[in-house]
Amino acid sequence: MSFAVPAALWGLLAVGLPLLISFWRLRPTSVVVPSVALWRELPDRVPPVRALRSPRLSAIVMAQMAAVACVVAALAGPFAEFEAAKPRTVAIVIDLSARMYPRLAEAREAYERIRGALGREDRLVVYTFPPPARNRLVWEVAPFSGDATVALELAAREADLVFFLGDRPVDAPCEQVLVGGSFANTGVIDANVDGDKVWIRTVSPEGERVTPHDPQPEIRVAEDGFPLDDVLFLDSSARPVEVALEGRPHAGVRRVLERLEGVRLVKGGHPSIVVRVGEAGRVDDPPVRVIIDPPETGAAIDSDAIAFVPHPLFESVRAEEFPLEGAREVRGGSALALVGGRPVMALFDRELVIGGTFPSGPWPPSLVIFWSNVIEFLAGGRTRQWTARRTDRTLELEGGRVVQPRRVGRNEFFGEVVHANLLDREASDLSGQRRAFDASRLSAAPVERRRRDLSVWPACVALVLMSLSWWLERKAF
């Protein structure tokens, strides 16, 4: 033990002061007064001051002398020196990229081992990525891959020792705890929608391959321990079908095509469907044609009653609400509608031929439904546009809002539902490496000399002694 202020020990010379003061202190004595009338006859001091000639070392004086000694000892600042581990700031940088999904349980165990090896006075900070965040540890992976550079730089500026917890090594000066290893994964790494086909690139232990699929909301390609890339999610939206009008002007046909949802009338270019009324057309080699009242049809038919052959073109269409004027026989093709037992509508390889025309005035609902079915059928399912979105890219909603998908699969923003996919070669690569935690890096902490202040103990003893002295004084009276 040492003293911070050794000169204060000279104050121990004052220990004898209570004894010196006791020389002049009056001792209490009892005096019997037989009558109150004699009270004024008593001297001012009873007994007279004669304590100087008979001092005595009482318990009260001894307690006071000990209290003075303890106060002087406390003022001298006693302390004890000892060696202890120097407190450190330790940072753990945790990789929460998508590929860490099957490693989360093992990563959490490694994190607890590092945390348990810290000293009592060590301070812990945790950085996670992607995106970089400080002391916001939630054991959930992000729906994309991330770069550890920013998080490691931030941790290095703050901490004395940095640990990296992930599945593959990083090029940075830090202690690395790796929980990777062999993992056979099969999943989607890329997708491309081309017309009415979706081309999907998958990766597996055997290598990569590209396969075509029909568009649908979910295309499942695998099922393993890494579900984030096992399913391709597609969103569909209405895609305008470009339609060109040729031949004689027909107000009724133009009016209904302009009002149909998903139809856009164009002039020239490369339309998906050409509707020709009467005379020959001008568009070269269109995908499909609808020919109304062609000049090369057969003889006119007197009957007005029309009958439909079961076909998707006539779904929800009523025959009594289908006004076909000037019906003529159509030769060849697959008959779809009959008037008087003879075909007036036929489907060829790339043409729908209608022998007759339609009124230019208001159309009944069934005729509008028929033209909607025509566009849907002849467009070959291309009235829907399929999109494969990625989780690592922002997307713009209606109204100009830009959002970032938060998870693989279903996401909802402002009431609008969108689906997103991993589609990341690096995220689907679950090879990684393994490296165990070395506890010796934390046990070999630098040592520093410290002082433990002991002045509180003599101060407490002095307080107790002064209280005892006061109690003895009260008891004497």
Q: Which of 386, 378, 421 is nearest to 195 (CA)?
A: 386
Q: What is the length of the chain?
A: 477
Which structural domains are found in the chain, ordered by start? 2-82+451-476 (no CATH), 87-183+430-445 (no CATH), 187-238+387-420 (no CATH), 241-382 (3.40.50.880)
Is the CB of residue 329 less than 8 Å from the CB of residue 343? yes
Is the CB of residue 442 less than 8 Å from the CB of residue 90? yes
Count the helix, strand and coil residues of the chain and give each as a percent rounded to the nearest 5. Answer: 25, 30, 45
For residue 399, the 8-state DSSP code is T
Burial class (CB in 10 A: 0-12, 13-18, 19+), 48: exposed
Q: Which of 4, 2, 51, 78 is nearest to 462 (CA)?
A: 78
- For the chain, first and last CA: distance in Å? 42
Q: Which of 138, 137, 139, 132 is nearest to 155 (CA)?
A: 132
pLDDT at position 434 is: 93
| Residues paired with residue 326 on neighbouring β-strands, in sequence order | none
CA distance 217 to 462: 84
| Phi, psi for 398 (deg, rounded to 5) | -65, 135
Q: Tell me the residue ranges of DSSP E strands in 169-297.
A: 175-179, 187-194, 197-204, 207-213, 218-220, 231-233, 235-238, 241-247, 263-266, 273-277, 288-292
CA distance 313 to 109: 62
Q: Decide: helix, strand or coil at residue 371.
A: helix
Is the CB of residue 292 less than 8 Å from the CB of residue 280? no
Q: Evaluate if pTM is beyond 0.85.
A: no
pLDDT at position 53 is: 46
Residues of the chain with pLDDT under 50: 49-53, 281-283
CA distance 110 to 94: 10
| Residues paired with residue 161 on neighbouring β-strands, in sequence order | 90
pLDDT at position 382 is: 57
| Chain mean pLDDT for the chain | 85
For the stretch 276-308, what's the b/e string if a residue is b when 16 or more beta carbons lie within 10 angstroms of its beta carbon?
bbbeebebeebbbbbbbbbeebeeebeeeebeb
What is the residue whose two structure tokens read 């929460």?
Answer: 96
- Can you list the pairs that 110-116 forms with residues at least 24 positions away whose Cβ atoms lie under 8 Å? 110/165, 110/177, 110/179, 110/437, 111/165, 113/437, 113/439, 114/90, 114/163, 114/165, 114/177, 114/437, 114/442
Question: How many CB atoms sit inside 10 A of residue 52's CB?
Answer: 9
Q: Tell me the residue ranges of DSSP E strands in 28-112.
A: 78-85, 89-95
